Chains A and B, each alone.
Chain A
């Protein structure tokens, strides 16, 4: 016991001294602070720099996160967006969260992104990552990512995998299943939370399956 007490006190001091505990513990979709908003006619999309966005890559909860990096100018990205949109309906009993991370440049927000979102009426949570220092943040998403898109990160508390490639819906399901199979023996209050239409966040809710 002699050693335990000083150790505990040291641990408490160290913990208390951590300047900012929001990393890892912040619920990104509820608590993060966008640096800006892209305003559409009846929706708004939050804009993040990488420091704030990074917490989305470190969520420590029961959900499996499917984080897709895309842009309106990236044809294969636009092709695969409907597959990500379909996941919520395909896995109604699983705890999954789909986040579509848009990488359009700031000067394209009004001219390209807003019209695109208006037309597509995306159901998934959409945010913009706007951080020009790409060489420093790309490796923090995945050490092997060249920066080409489309690219997708799937992770939960147990596993994590990064894909620098376009998906078909079948491939996406196959990959996602490898994350969800671990869950089958667990008890949980099965519920899907796509967090659409959270006030001030993402695009507005709509009827599923019309995009």
Chain B
């Protein structure tokens, strides 16, 4: 079993207000995707997720719904699988393609090849959401955390954290909850 050289609890990453790095990562369609490709985007929901984590699977439909709701408003979902496929075979590039096809992902599903990107963001688990706002100074981190407050049942959600954050951002309002936590799978390194 390979463990992360940096334990998850001590990983440094972005905090609210930081400018996030762009990336060039391979998408399941074979193309490379960067944030800079989206000239018109007002922001991004960068979601570190994977095939194998039960929490990621539980949120797949809700991630698709977020993309469908917010892509048209200028805030598309960019999903990134941060796991090392050598450690977690179910998260290989081939399996990613397969899962995306089965679930009809409407968003790019990128592999963090070499695992250079997730540590910069400070992603600690899957799924882990980073809402970025496309500002003149760069991609500014506006929200970090969970999608909502009930993984088990989408109908029982009382606080849709991500939707609240995106709505506030798009309306130029203050985001009231900017950091949330959830149980998730550690990123396999």
- Tell me the A residues contacting B by CB distance below 8 Å: 71, 73-76, 79, 103, 105-106, 108, 132-136, 138-139, 144-151, 163-166
Contact = CB atoms under 8 A, between A and B. Distances in A.
Nearest to A166: B3
B1 A145 contact: no
Nearest to A139: B181
Given A73-B54, A135-B146, A145-B181, 20 more contacts: A71-B183, A74-B186, A105-B58, A132-B151, A133-B149, A135-B145, A135-B149, A135-B159, A135-B161, A135-B181, A135-B182, A138-B181, A144-B9, A145-B9, A146-B181, A147-B125, A148-B8, A149-B186, A164-B9, A165-B9
Contacts of A133: 149-150
A109 to B, nearest CB: 12
A103 B183 contact: yes
B35 interface: no
Nearest to B151: A132
A16 to B, nearest CB: 35
Q: Interface residues of B toward A: which range?
A: 20 to 34
8 A-B pairs closest in CB distance: A164-B9, A165-B7, A148-B125, A138-B181, A147-B181, A132-B150, A135-B180, A146-B124
14 contacts: A73-B53, A76-B1, A105-B54, A132-B153, A133-B150, A134-B182, A135-B161, A145-B181, A146-B125, A148-B8, A148-B124, A163-B9, A164-B9, A165-B7
B3 to A, nearest CB: 6
A74 B9 CA distance: 16
Contacts of A75: 1, 88, 188
Nearest to B183: A147
B85 interface: no
B184 interface: yes
A79 B188 CA distance: 14
Given A132-B149, A135-B180, A76 B3 contact: yes
